[in-house]
Amino acid sequence: MIMEKSKKRKQTETLKKVLNYIEHYKIFLVLSLFFAVATVASTLYIPVLTGQVIDHILGPEQVEFPVIFRLLGKMGVIMGLTALAQWLMNVCNNKITYEVIQDIRREAFAKIEILPLKFIDGHSHGELVSRVIADVDQFADGLLMGFSQLFTGLVTILGTLLFMLSINVKITLVVVLITPVSLFVASFIAKRTFSMFMLQSSTRGEQTALINEMIENQKVVQAFSREEKVLETFDEINERLEKASLQATFFSSLTNPTTRFVNSLVYTGVGLVGAFSAMRGLLTVGQLSCFLSYANQYTKPFNEISGVVTELQNALACAERIFSLIEEEAQVPEPENAEILTDVKGTVDLEHVYFSYTPEKKLIEDFNLKIKPGQRVAIVGPTGCGKTTMINLLMRFYDVDSGSIQVEHLDIRKATRKSLRESYGMVLQETWLKAGTIRENLIMGKPEATEEEIKEAAKAAHAHSFIKRLPKGYDTVIGEEGGSLSAGQKQLLCIARVMLCLPPMLILDEATSSIDTRTEMKIQNAFAKMMQGRTSFIVAHRLSTIQEADIILVMKDGHILEQGSHEELLKKKGFYSELYNSQFAV
C-alpha cells in the first residue's frame, strides 16, 4: 500500500514537471485545443448530415436528389475543413513536443557539464547516454501520442454526449451507464504497467552501458579473449530486457481488447434500445443511424485514451529517469564574489588537507606542502597512494574534505574554476582528443593561436613531422579518442596542446609513457625548457625521469613519508631509496 502511494506520488510529481516545461508553449497548446475542438465538431456534424440524407430517401422513386446533392456537397466541404484542422493540430502538437524535448535534452546535457566528477565516476557512461538519448526519445513518443489523441479523445467524448443528448436522452443514459466499466478496466491495467515500464527503462540503460563499454574497449576484450564472457553477460541482460519488455507490452496490450469489448456492449445496447424506439416511432431511421455512429465515435476515444495512458506510463517512467539526472546536485557553485586568478607566479600551499572518495576509506590525511614559484615537484609512490588524487585536488575536480589548497595565497574555492584551470597546463597518461581536425584539437586551450604558433608548438613536441605525413596535415580529421593515431602520436598532440598555451603551472602525469625512448629524450629536453620559471607537478613511475626535480614527494597511503631532492632521499636510505633501487634489481 505504501509502495503504491509512493509510485502514485512520483508519477504526479513527474507529470507536474512535464507540465512546467509545456507551460512555456501555451500559445501552441491553446491553438492545439482550438483545432482539436474544430476537428471533433466538424467530425461529429457529418453523422447529422448522413442521417438527414437517409431521411430524404423516402422509398422507391421517392428520393429527393436535389436536397441529397446539396447535403453531400456540404459534407465534402466539412471533410476538407476537418482535414485542415487536424493537420494544423498535429503541427502544433509536434511543435510543443519537440520544443519540450529540446529543452529537456539541453538541460540534461548542461547538467552533465556541471555535475561533480564524483557522480560521473560513480555512474556508467552508457547508462547516462541511455537517459539522454533513448529515454528522452521514449518520452517524446508518449508525449506526442498524448497530445495527438488525448485532446481529440476528450473533446470527442464531450461532443458526442451533447449531440446524443440533443437527439434522445434515454438512449444516451444507456451509453453513459456502461462507460465507467471501460474506465475501470483502463485504470486497473495502467496502474500495473508503470513499474514494468520503469524496469524496462532501467534494464535498457544497463544494456546501453555494456554496449558502450565494450565498443570503447574492444581491443582489450579481444586481446584477453573475453568475447564469449561478454556475450554471456550481454545475453543475460538481453534476456532480462526481453522479459521486462514482454511483461510491460503484454499487460499494456490488454487495455485495447478489454475496452473494445466494453465498447461493443455500448454499441449493442444503443442498437437494441434504438431499434425498439424506431419501431415505436420515437426515432427516425436517419436518427438511429446517426445515434449508432455517435455511439461508435463515443467509445472509440476510450480505446485511444487507454492506449495513450499505457504509452504515458512508459513516457513518465522515462521522464522520471531523465529528471533525476537534471535534478542531481551540481558541483559546489562558485561564490558570488569569486576572484579571477591573474598574474599567477606559481605559489601553491596545501595546508592540513584531508580527502577521501568514500567516508569509510581514508586516503589523504593532514597533508601539508609549500611550493615556491618555478619549483619542480615530483610525486612518486606505489599505485593507489594518492598521486592522481593530488592532481584532482589541485585542478579542483574534487574539493578537499577539510583544510585548504591555495594558489597565490588565495583558497582555490574562492577563485573561479575557469581562471584556476587556465593557470594549469595538464598532460595525462590517458590522452583525450575530440572528433575534429588536428588543428581544432591543438588550439583547444588557445583558440586565437596563429598558424605559426601552432606549428612551433607541434615542432617543440616533435609532432610536426608525423602531422605533415597525414593526408591533409593539420586539417586532417581524426575520430573520437584520436581514431587511427597511435598512442604515442596522440600523446604528442596532447603535449603540443599544452606547449601552445604555456600556462604558468604544469601538471605532467606520466606524460611520455606511450612515447619511444629516443623521442622521449627529445621531449624531456623540450619539457625542461618549458618548465623553466614555471611551477611543475610531475607524476612518474620511472624514477629516472624525475631526478632533476627540486622537491620529490614520496607518498604512501595518502601520506607524505619523505620529501627532499633525489640525492637527499637516497642518503636517507628510506622508502624512496627502496623504490629507486628496486628498478635495478635483477
Q: Please give the distance of CA 18 from its chain centroid, rounded to a whole number.
A: 16
Return the DSSP state at 148: I
Report the largest interatomic distance among the alpha carbons of the chain, rounded to a whole angstrom. Answer: 124
Q: Over the stretch 338-387, which tens digit does the pLDDT of each residue have?
A: 888 888 888 899 888 888 887 777 778 888 888 888 888 888 877 777 77
pLDDT > 70? residue 59: no
Q: What is the pTM of this model?
A: 0.66
Q: Where does 327-407 have alpha helices with state H?
A: 387-394
Tens digit of each residue's pLDDT (9 = 90 or more) over 461-520: 888 888 898 888 899 888 777 677 887 788 888 888 888 888 888 888 876 666 677 777
CA 145 to chain centre: 22
Q: Which of 56-65, 95-104, 411-420 has the lowest mean pLDDT?
A: 56-65
| Cα–Cα distance for residue pair 159/424, rounded to 1 Å | 68
Please write the tens of the pLDDT for every residue from 285-334: 777 777 777 777 776 776 666 667 767 777 887 888 888 888 888 888 88
Among 562, 436, 424, smallest CA distance to 504 is for: 424
Residues 533-576 have pLDDT tens digits of 888 888 876 666 677 788 888 887 767 788 888 888 888 888 88
**Which residues belong to CATH 3.40.50.300 in the chain?**
348-582
For residues 379 and 389, give the distance between their C-alpha atoms in angstroms, rounded to a whole number. 11
Q: Is the pLDDT of residue 399 over 80?
A: yes
Residue 404's pLDDT is what?
92
Residues with Cβ within 8 Å of residue 479, at least 6 apart in sequence: 435
Distances, alpha carbon 51 to alpha carbons 284, 365, 541, in Å: 9, 88, 90
Indicate if the pLDDT at residue 188 is higher than 90.
Answer: no
What confidence score (pLDDT) does residue 514 get? 62
Q: Give the DSSP letter of residue 24.
A: G
Q: What is the CA radius of gyration of the chain?
A: 35
Q: Which H or E run contains 355?
A: strand 348-355
Model confidence at 58: pLDDT above 70? no
3-state secondary structure of 344: coil
Alpha helices by DSSP H, 280-332: 285-326
Q: Angle at Cα 128 formed by Cα 123 and Cα 132, nearest 5°?
A: 160
d(CA 169, CA 157): 16
- pLDDT at position 7 is 62
Element (H, E) at 509: strand 505-509
CB 499 within 8 A of CB 461: yes
The highest-confidence range among 48-62, 161-175, 185-199, by mean pLDDT, is 161-175
Give the pLDDT band (50/70/90) at residue 2.
low
- Per-residue pLDDT at 88: 92
| pLDDT given at position 213 | 81
Name the CATH superfamily for 21-326.
ABC transporter type 1, transmembrane domain (1.20.1560.10)
Cα–Cα distance, 233 to 222 (Å, whole number) = 15
Residue 98 CB: number of other CB atoms within 10 A?
A: 13
Q: What is the model's pLDDT at position 496?
A: 87
- 84 has a pLDDT exceeding 90: yes
Check pLDDT > 80 for residue 451: yes
Look at residue 427 and tell me whether its pLDDT is greater than 70.
yes
Host H or E run for residue 553: strand 551-556
Write out the three cell numbers for 176.
453513459
Determine whether 290 is exposed, middle or buried from the number of CB atoms within 10 Å of its CB (0-12, 13-18, 19+): buried
Hey, which residues does 436 pair with through a beta bridge?
478
pLDDT at 244: 85
Q: State the burial class of residue 485 (Cβ atoms within 10 Å of its Cβ: 0-12, 13-18, 19+).
A: buried
Residue 563 has what DSSP assignment?
E
Q: Where in the chain is the domain with CATH 1.20.1560.10?
A: 21-326
Q: Which amino acid is at 564?
A: G
Hey, what amino acid is at 328? E
In 3D space, the residue among 318, 305, 225, 232 whose CA is nearest the CA of residue 262 turns out to be: 305
Better pLDDT: 428 or 111 = 111
Q: Is residue 95 packed enough to be buried (19+ CB in 10 Å), middle (13-18) or exposed (0-12)?
A: middle
CATH classification number, 348-582, choose in 3.30.365.10, 3.40.50.300, 3.30.70.980, 3.50.50.60: 3.40.50.300
Q: Rounded distance, CA 572 to CA 568, Å?
A: 7
- Whether 581 has a pLDDT exceeding 80, the answer reads no
Indicate the residue type of 167. Answer: I
Residue owning grid cell 551540481? 330
pLDDT in tens, 128-179: 888 888 888 888 877 777 777 777 777 787 887 787 777 777 777 777 777 7
Segment 80-101 mean pLDDT: 88
Nearest Cα to Cα of residue 318 among 96, 116, 17, 99:
17
CB neighbour class for 65 (10 Å; exposed up to 12, middle 13-18, buried from 19): exposed
Please report the pLDDT score of residue 236 as a whole number. 92
Q: What is the DSSP letter of 363?
A: -
Q: Is the pLDDT of residue 246 over 70?
A: yes
